[in-house]
Amino acid sequence: MAVNWNREDNIAIIWIDNPPVNAMSHSVRERLSLALNEVNADTGIEASIIACRGKTFVAGADVKEFGKPPLAPFLNDLVQLIEDSAKPVIAAIHGKALGGGFEIALAAHGRIAAPDAQFGLPEVKLGIIPGAGGTQRLPRLIGVAAAIDMIATGKSISAPHARNLGLIDIVSQNELIADALAFARTLIHSEPRRTGQLPIAKFDEQTAELQILAVEQKARGQISPGEAARMVLRGANVPIEQGLKLERDKFLELVGSEQAVALRHVFVAERLAAKFDELADILPRPIQSVGIAGAGLMGAGIAVTFADADYDVTVVERDTLSIDEGQKRVDAIYERAVKSGRISNAIKEERLTRISFHSDLNAFTKCDLVIEAVFDDLGVKRELFTCLASIVRPDTILATNTSYLDPDAIASVVPDPSRFIGLHFFSPANMMRLVEVVKTKEIAPDVLATGLAVAKRLGKLGIVSGVCEGFIGNRLFTAYREQCDFMLEDGALPHEIDNAVEAYGFPMGPYAVTDLAGLDISWARRKRDADKRDPALRYVPIADRLCEAGRFGQKSGSGYYIYDGGRKLVDPIVTALIEAISSEKGIIRRPFEPDEIIARIIAGIVTEADKILSEGISLRPSDIDLVLINGYGYPAWCGGPMFRTGRAK
Ligand code: 3HC
């Protein structure tokens, strides 16, 4: 039974029990509605508590029902039933109260939460706005500005933070249900405090408008954050009934929108990414102590990522000077997090205690997993792993963070290569969500399962990739960049491509990114690999010519653009250089419209993706979309190229 209730003297406890996350599916709504009516009709009951079985409170409406015809009772009516109840209703929250679950809690007359509970309205991440009163009730508890912030970002907040904001009444210090019963007793015989009837604290309309504009700008073409933020403001100026109606209409309009369908694809794809039949019964190895060889930019970022997820981190660098530099890098990452308000100084200090620095590889003897993040050179890495294999325990997992080298060639120096895996973090490792979990030739199933489990505990998205040059991500990125370069030769200019790509929703166009990252390193690689290049393949020499002219990107003041102070300007010299190359090759240049630019990019990516899939490097089209979204800034609300072309559904 998904919902049942029992009585504790004159108080009813209504239990929702719909594993795994107590989503508000149709049957739960039906039974909850029934339970509420029974409790209201029972003259022996004077108050009720809504609580959940399992690991969490209600995590939202049932996403799997979106896109199907809605069936009564609707969540918004149920939420209203709770608010209208003549007897006090209390929400007792543990785990996560998200979306529709949070809206149920908002409509209750009192809210008590376990200390580790979290609250959020993540609807915008699904391309919709809250549809059961979230945009209307939340500002009545925490004010317009804080409500816009929570709803437009979809971020969750902790129970103590929620208490400070006035969102919940009590953070339970003992047993949640016992505390909820005690709280309920204090509310019996008093008029229920109905959130929808509370006045909204005074706010400045103009400031709210500016806040919404900022949300819209940050959303880069995604519709739902701006719509959700605007709904808060619209509702704040009309009676609650009208606000609820406006909200419901907008929710129903957006739930079937292209962006919502695309984001639901992403939601499902993310949950599919870690599922493999071959791993169904395989337990990951327990990992708590993690070693990191190398504390350069990548190693430092990886160390922070693990410390943030409560691992014990051992970093080894070759000498005291390198240790000192590594420590400074780690410290700088945390300092930036403190300055931006993401963590407190106390948290920074606590996390730093989890990371120890050493100059001797023997420090790794206690580690369950060792990841190398040293110079990307096969000889260097093979030497390191030869050493490591003789130092660490036989069950310690060994991982390489290489971007381009062959992990199997590195693994071959390890006596037991079944414990060898690739964990390809993206830079900056502490910020980027994607980790390619590279399935080496001899890998043991539990080692692969461990790679995925570690990625999940880090709060990252692990995507399994087979072994090939560049793995999934960099191979796709190369195909993307190649199409852009072809278009430059065929008639487009860097800013036209960047503008089209940014208007589509990427945070930065490819040429702005290259200027930021610098052109010199890839130039050096191209020169090194020149002999290996197939002369029959089309080669675009624009980047080489820019480098020959000393244009290495922002750091040299010019690249694909010229930089005047902080301003990026189109440079006629670059235009002339590109036109000259087209003419040398006998190409008649022609204009490119933004739509064609995007279509060419998607076609280029998809052609490469089809190859990657047919070679078995990627196991699912939906994984391709996730790699591009989480590693390369592809706009999630467009679903990904495989979704766009009907290859992933
Ligand atoms: N509806 C249906 N199924 C859901 C769901 C939801 N809202 N949320 C999670 N699930 C399912 C997942 O698909 C997965 O199913 P599977 O095992 O078959 O793959 C299972 O629950 C477990 O999910 P996770 O793997 O994500 O489990 P975690 O423990 O890592 O995370 C969570 C739990 C934090 C609750 C996470 O699942 C989550 O963030 N869920 C989405 C919450 C959300 O977006 N809620 C808003 C919904 S929209 C809404 O409420 C509209 C309302 O305003 C009207």
Q: How far is the CA of 622 from the centre of ligand 1 (A)?
A: 18
pLDDT tier at 401, thresholds 50, 70, 90: very high
pLDDT at residue number 144: 97
Residue nearest to atom 20 of ligand 1 (CA): 20
Q: Is 64 in the pocket of ligand 1 (CB under 6 A)?
A: yes
Share of residues in the chain with pLDDT > 70 (%): 100
In this prediction, residues 429-453 reach a mean pLDDT of 97
Q: Which of 30, 46, 103, 278 is catalytic?
A: 103
- Asked if residues 331 and 428 have their Cβ atoms less than 8 Å apart, the reply is no
Q: Is the pLDDT of residue 649 over 80?
A: no
In this prediction, residues 305-324 reach a mean pLDDT of 97
Q: How far is the CA of 425 from the centre of ligand 1 (A)?
A: 25
Q: How far is the CA of 285 from the centre of ligand 1 (A)?
A: 26
φ, ψ of residue 333 in degrees (nearest 5): -60, -45
How confident is the model over 463-499, as pLDDT tens digits? 999 999 999 999 999 999 999 999 999 999 999 999 9
pLDDT at residue number 565: 84
Number of continuous H segments (helices) and E segments (strands) in the chain: 26, 19
CA atoms within 13 A on the CB side of 378: 10
Burial tier of 530 (Cβ tally within 10 Å: 0-12, 13-18, 19+): exposed
Q: What is the mean pLDDT of the chain?
A: 96
pTM for the predicted model, two decimal places: 0.94
Other Cβ atoms closer than 10 A to 377: 11
Residue nearest to atom 16 of ligand 1 (CA): 271
In this prediction, residues 369-377 reach a mean pLDDT of 93
Residue nearest to atom 25 of ligand 1 (CA): 271
In this prediction, residues 419-436 reach a mean pLDDT of 96
pLDDT at residue number 67: 85
Atom of ligand 1 nearest to the CA of 130: 53
Q: Which residues contact 341 (CB under 8 A, 6 or more apart)?
A: none
Q: How far is the CA of 61 from the centre of ligand 1 (A)?
A: 9
Distances (CA, A) of 246 to 134, 150, 238: 12, 19, 10
Domains of the chain with CATH codes: 3-256 (3.90.226.10), 279-469 (3.40.50.720), 474-616 (1.10.1040.50)
**Residue found by looking up tokens 């399994």 in the block:** 464
pLDDT tier at 364, thresholds 50, 70, 90: very high
pLDDT at residue number 429: 95
How confident is the model over 329-346, as pLDDT tens digits? 999 999 999 999 899 999
pLDDT at residue number 576: 98
How confident is the model over 268-308, as pLDDT tens digits? 999 999 999 999 999 999 999 999 999 999 999 999 999 99
Cα four-point dihedral sign 170, 171, 176, 178: negative
Residue nearest to atom 12 of ligand 1 (CA): 271
Q: Is the pLDDT of residue 1 over 70?
A: no
Q: Is the pLDDT of residue 621 over 90?
A: yes
- Asked if residues 139 and 236 have their Cβ atoms less than 8 Å apart, the reply is yes
Report the alpha-carbon angle 382-457-400, nearest 5.
10
Q: Is 122 in the pocket of ligand 1 (CB under 6 A)?
A: yes
How confident is the model over 39-62, as pLDDT tens digits? 999 999 999 999 999 999 999 999
Q: Is 62 in the pocket of ligand 1 (CB under 6 A)?
A: yes
How confident is the model over 237-255, as pLDDT tens digits? 999 999 999 999 999 999 9
Residue nearest to atom 33 of ligand 1 (CA): 21
| Cα–Cα dist 522/517, whole Å | 10
Q: Residue count of the chain, please give it.
A: 649
Q: How far is the CA of 21 from the centre of ligand 1 (A)?
A: 6
In this prediction, residues 544-565 reach a mean pLDDT of 96
Q: How far is the CA of 246 from the centre of ligand 1 (A)?
A: 26
What is the helix (H) or strand (E) element at residue 553, kind and residue range?
none
* Pairing between β-strand 11-16 and β-strand 3-8 as defined by DSSP bridges: antiparallel
Atom of ligand 1 nearest to the CA of 134: 53
Q: Is the pLDDT of residue 573 over 90?
A: yes
DSSP secondary structure letters along 171-196 = E-SS-HHHHHHHHHHHHTTS----GG
Q: Is 20 in the pocket of ligand 1 (CB under 6 A)?
A: yes
Q: Is 79 in the pocket of ligand 1 (CB under 6 A)?
A: no
Q: Is the pLDDT of residue 94 over 70?
A: yes
Q: Which of 83, 123, 247, 482 is catalytic?
A: 123
In this prediction, residues 137-151 reach a mean pLDDT of 97
| Cα–Cα dist 537/540, whole Å | 10
| Cα–Cα dist 286/449, whole Å | 11
How confident is the model over 160-212, as pLDDT tens digits? 999 999 999 999 999 999 999 999 999 998 899 999 999 999 999 999 999 99
- Asked if residues 501 and 509 have their Cβ atoms less than 8 Å apart, the reply is yes
Alpha helices in 309-444 (DSSP H): 320-339, 345-352, 378-391, 407-411
103 is catalytic: yes
Q: Is the pLDDT of residue 601 over 70?
A: yes
